[in-house]
Amino acid sequence: MARKPRPVDPADGPVPAFAYDLRIVREQAGNPTYRVLADRAGFGATTLSDAAGGVRFPSLEVTQAYVGACGGDVAAWTRRWQEVDKRLASDAGAPPAPAEPAPPATTLATAAAEPTAEPTAAAAATPAAGKPAAESAGKADGKAAGASADLAPSAPDTTAPTDLAESAPARRWPVGWTTAGTAAVLALTVVLVLVVVRSTSSAANHPSAGAAPMASASAMAASAIGCPAADGTTPALFAGETYNATTRVRAGASLSADVVAQLPSGCRLALTGFCLGDVVLDTTSGSPDVRWFRLATGGYVSSAVVHGNPPAGLRPADCPDGVAPASSIALAAAAPAGAPGALELRATGDHVAIVGYAAYLPRSGSAMPQWQQIGFTSEAATGFKVTWRPAAPAEGGAAGGGGSAVPVVAVACFGGDGPTTVADARLIAQPAPTGTLPAAGLPEADLARARKAACRYPDQGHG
């Protein structure tokens, strides 16, 4: 018989409220068991249950998998998670409350004697900046580097897939550790350190004859756990490399698709093409990506968790859970009330998932204008809204227009460094546009540069 979940009061704070609403999503899906959800989501039943427990704030990946397995709105819950995460980060920066007096020894002894739930710990490493781009055929400007690690729960669920993150933003350590729990964790850490040191020492003191120099840590992990090996019957068109602690290969281009394999960091993947599916946030920059790469060995992996890009000119193919590519886009601009000097850019279109904006303006310290990215977003609910504060145009006007009119483009993007040919180029007058925006009439070569700039892989820290 299933255990009745612990009651959660949404008025207790953002984390309980988040968990309360996750439970509603599950109820609306017919209340499937967590074992059933685990089979769909690729996370352990315990992890999914904890997400709706109201004690710890779940990771973005767990939230997306939970909601996707329930058939919920993954994009809406992604935005909800980001809002709660920002609030928790803001609360964490507040001055700490005065410390309470330590309880009497008898109270501590009583508490230690009472049974307590075993805590679960999860953490992620911050991606490192500046990693060279993957050596993929035809790859343009490479993605910035990143690496992340995700510790499995202290009590793994043996009935569900291994609980490791597909992409890993920072996680918070849970509160409420007992003295006994802390001692157990310290003891386990000491054992693990001793095992690693002994293994490293043994390898160093007893090398095999003719052994090659020691490989990188990620390559060693890949070798130990196993990476997919293409059989050579399906030719690869480009390559990519995994860099998260675990990368999930799914049966389709969706976070709710079944997990068919889990790969370690450092796997070199032979890729035969890509399709379009769920938007996933890149684990390095946090920027959105709608591309899903097809492995030569079968299955699909999100572009957001792999270093590598398709060759220029390669078009998306059909795939399970895939979505249609953008077919049209229209740019509009208006001066928002109460924000002098600012412009609000919006885009509409068919099958548009990600929009990049670029303007032809002089760079700081130079009078020569060039195409510059001014926005990159997947927020379809807001109309892909971006607030832009224009700089003064170059003397003599910008390319494609004259006077104070600035050429601006809205482009449907696949993701970072993934422009499409679906774009709308308009002239926007300063200080504020009035009426319908006139077409910019850009030559194809200039429009190609504008599309590339609009869909440029954002600098780390920019969304």
Structure confidence at residue 18 (pLDDT) = 94
* Residue 384 burial by Cβ neighbours in a 10 Å radius (0-12, 13-18, 19+): buried
Structure confidence at residue 231 (pLDDT) = 65
Q: How far is CA 407 from CA 134, 174, 329, in A?
A: 33, 50, 16
Q: Longest Cα pair distance anywhere in the chain, in angstroms?
A: 82
Amino acid sitting at position 154: S
Our CA dihedral for 162, 166, 171, 174, rounded to 10 degrees, sits at -20
Say whether pLDDT at 369 is over 60.
yes
Structure confidence at residue 341 (pLDDT) = 79
Q: Quick check: do 10-89 and 328-454 share a fold?
A: no
Our CA dihedral for 272, 276, 279, 283, rounded to 10 degrees, sits at 20
Architecture per CATH, 10-89: Orthogonal Bundle (1.10)
Q: What is the pTM of this model?
A: 0.56
pLDDT-derived band at 250, boundaries 50, 70, 90: very high
Put the strands of the sheet holding 343-350 in their side by side order.
328-334, 343-350, 386-388
CATH 2.60.40 describes domain 328-454? yes
Q: What is the mean pLDDT of the chain?
A: 73
- The structural domains of the chain, with segments of one domain joined by +, span 10-89, 125-172+215-323, 328-454
